[in-house]
Structures are given as C-alpha cells and as structure tokens.
C-alpha cells in the first residue's frame, strides 16, 4: 500500500496527490510515468509524474477525472492509501541525457495543454535547476482549467498563458501563441509538447511549418506499462513502437496521430458506461442509449 500524504483538487476535476513511494522517488526522472491501481478491484491507470522528493521518498501525481476509475480516485484524502503504485516507467526525457553546457546553448519551448501542464513541470524545473531557462506556453479551454500557474511561473523563463475563450491570458489556441512568438522574433531550437492528442497533433503541424523539431509525450491506452502487451502501440516514422517502453516521448513530426487518436477511442463506450453506472448507481436504466444494463 502507498500512503497519500497530500490530496487536493487543483481545479474542477483535476487533482494532485503526493504519494509515499520510496523506490519510485529514488529513481524517477522527468518524462517518466507511473501506473496506479486504486484498490484491489481497480484497473491499472497510467499517470504522469508531476514532481518528486527523493529525501522524503514521495512522488506527486496529477490526474483529471475522465472515467469511473479516476473519479473514484479523486475522492481519496490524505491518510488514505493507493493499492498499487509502480514505476518509474518509460524512458526519461532526452533532455536529461544531454550535457548541461549544450542545453544552455539551446532555446527550448514547452507547450502544455490542460492537465499536460503536470508532466511539463518537472522537466522545466529540472532545467531551471541547471541554469537553463525554458519558455513555457500553458493552454486551457478556460481560466478555471489552468493549473500549477504559480509553480510554473517560479521555474519557467517566460510563461505564456492562453485560454481558448480568452477568459485569461492570451486568447486562442496554443498554436496561435507559438506562431505569435516566432513572429515576434523568438527563435526555438526544440519544442516539447504535452497535452491532449489533438493538441499535440496541431502543435506538430505548426512547428513543422516553422521548422522547429518537436517532441511529444503520447498517452495511449495502457495495461501493464512494462512492454508485455502492446496495448499502447503507436506508429512512429512507419515503425510500430510501444509507448510504455520506447516512449512515451517521440519525435512529434513522425507520429501517426490520426491512428493514435482512433486507438484512444477503443473503450470509449465502455468507459462511459462504467462512469454512468458509478454516478447513477441503481437509478441508471440505460439512459445513455448504449447501455443495456438494467440493474
């Protein structure tokens, strides 16, 4: 069992948890993830690492409630425990292996979409600790969905916030801000984009036009997260890769996003069903239109 030391809602449906996980905290690097199972009946859910404290032996995760599993997890409080917490999984960000001197020469741009702000944070923090100030664009649908703003402000070179509806910061999509920054005379050697698949796809389209090499962190469906099943397979540059062991970060200009997005839909109806059952319990009588379960 893995004890939760802190649990709070960052904003509607987005939660942060600091969890005691000695082995993970000792070895994890920016870019890696964990798999969490809430209780003995729960499914295995991949979550990105937002922060870690090696001395305390803790790992901080941030998750958005999208289905029945994460919704139930959002109800846990400090003092509760998670049944399983395994990691660090996946490859660390390539930045971690680059000599610091070379990193300092580079102009790096991070683009974070929604809850994707969480996995961007440890990378920016890691760089800042080594004297590399990266620019960060954080985008969300609306003001209320912006998370970790203060934390990011503290570690980013320049922080640009943009909301789709213009309720906060700049107005429009993250792609618009990328374009604006370049037009304003900014130059970037590399872009790292993490967020919803659709956002990463459009960021890649934009950076391809602008000639900026781009890394994305993919979030396909996973089961074991150790390379034994291939549920998370994606096509990158015409080759099949398992995101859990070969990634999750890949060259964004080579990823087949359309296929990856289709594969994400795989269990959509089943997830919807599970959520409805959870929310409506015995009052759910097939109102979702797909559900034949009349319990």
Partner 1 sequence: MDVLKKVPVREQDAKVRATNFEEVCFGYNEEEAREEAERCINCKNARCIVGCPVSINIPAFIEKVKEGDVEAAYHIINESSSLPAVCGRVCPQESQCEGVCIRGIKGEPVSIGKLERFVADWACEKDVKPEGAKEKNGKRVAVVGSGPAGLTCAGDLAKLGYDVTIFEALHEAGGVLVYGIPEFRLPKEKVVAKEIENVRSLGVKIETNVVVGKAVTIDELMDEEGFDAVFIGSGAGLPKFMGIPGEQANGVFSANEYLTRSNLMKAFQEGSTTPIMKGNKVAVVGGGNVAMDAARTALRLGAEVHVVYRRSEEELPARVEEVHHAKEEGIIFDLLTNPVEILTNEKGWVSGIKCVKMELGAPDESGRRRPVVKPDSEFVIEVDTVIMSLGTSPNPLISSTTEGLETNKWKCIIADENSGKTTKEGVYAGGDAVTGAATVILAMGAGKAAAKGIDEYLTNK
State the residues that interact with partner 1 by CB under 8 A: 23-24, 26-27, 37, 41-44, 68-69, 83-89, 223-224, 226-231, 233-235, 240, 245, 256, 259, 262-263, 265-267, 270-271, 274
Minimum distance of partner 1 from residue 97's CB (angstroms): 15
259 annotated to bind ligand: no
- Helix or strand (DSSP H, E) at 138: strand 135-140
Minimum distance of partner 1 from residue 245's CB (angstroms): 7
Question: Are the C-beta atoms of 83 and 40 separated by less than 8 Å?
Answer: yes
CA distance 68 to 53: 29
For partner 1, the closer of residues 159 and 274 by Cβ is 274
176 annotated to bind ligand: no
For partner 1, the closer of residues 227 and 237 by Cβ is 227
**Total residues found in the chain within this entry:** 295
Rg (CA), the chain: 19
For partner 1, the closer of residues 45 and 181 by Cβ is 45
Minimum distance of partner 1 from residue 268's CB (angstroms): 10
For partner 1, the closer of residues 88 and 139 by Cβ is 88
Cis previous bond, 69, omega within 30:
no
∠ CA 195-201-202 to the nearest 5 degrees? 100
For partner 1, the closer of residues 23 and 104 by Cβ is 23
Minimum distance of partner 1 from residue 90's CB (angstroms): 9
28 annotated to bind ligand: no
70 annotated to bind ligand: yes
For partner 1, the closer of residues 190 and 273 by Cβ is 273
Minimum distance of partner 1 from residue 230's CB (angstroms): 4
Q: Which of 135, 105, 106 is nearest to 123 (CA)?
A: 135
50 annotated to bind ligand: no
69 annotated to bind ligand: yes
190 annotated to bind ligand: no
Minimum distance of partner 1 from residue 255's CB (angstroms): 12
CA distance 190 to 200: 14
In DSSP terms, 59 is beta-bridged to: 19, 52
CA distance 185 to 246: 35
∠ CA 175-232-219 to the nearest 5 degrees? 30
**Which residues sit in the known binding site for [2Fe-2S] cluster?**
229, 232, 244
Binding region for FAD: 62-64, 69-70
């Amino acid at each position: 069992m893995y004890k939760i030391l802190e649990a709070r809602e960052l904003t509607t449906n987005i939660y942060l948890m600091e969890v005691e996980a000695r082995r993970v905290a000792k070895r994890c690097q920016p870019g890696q993830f964990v798999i969490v199972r809430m209780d003995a009946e729960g499914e295995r859910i991949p979550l990105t690492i937002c922060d870690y404290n090696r001395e305390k032996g803790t790992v901080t995760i941030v998750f958005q409630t999208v289905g029945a599993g994460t919704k139930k997890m959002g109800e846990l409080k400090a003092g509760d425990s998670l049944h399983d917490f395994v990691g660090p999984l996946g490859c660390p960000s390539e930045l971690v292996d680059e000599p610091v001197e070379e990193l300092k020469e580079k102009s790096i741009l991070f683009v974070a979409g929604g809850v994707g702000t969480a996995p961007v944070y440890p990378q920016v923090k890691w760089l800042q600790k080594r004297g590399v100030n990266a620019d960060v664009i954080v985008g969300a649908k609306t003001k209320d969905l912006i998370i970790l703003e203060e934390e990011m402000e503290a570690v980013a070179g320049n922080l640009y916030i943009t909301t789709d509806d213009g309720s906060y910061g700049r107005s429009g999509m993250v792609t618009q801000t990328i374009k604006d920054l370049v037009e304003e005379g900014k130059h970037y050697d590399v872009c790292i984009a993490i967020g919803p698949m659709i956002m990463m796809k459009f960021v890649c389209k934009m950076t391809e036009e602008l000639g900026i090499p781009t890394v994305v962190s993919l979030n396909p469906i996973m089961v074991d997260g150790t390379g034994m099943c291939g549920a998370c397979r994606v096509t990158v540059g015409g080759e099949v890769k398992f995101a859990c062991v070969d990634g999750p970060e890949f060259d964004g200009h080579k990823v087949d996003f359309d296929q990856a997005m289709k594969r994400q839909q795989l269990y959509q109806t089943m997830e919807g069903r599970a959520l409805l059952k959870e929310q409506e319990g015995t009052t759910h009588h097939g109102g979702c239109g797909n559900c034949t379960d009349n319990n």
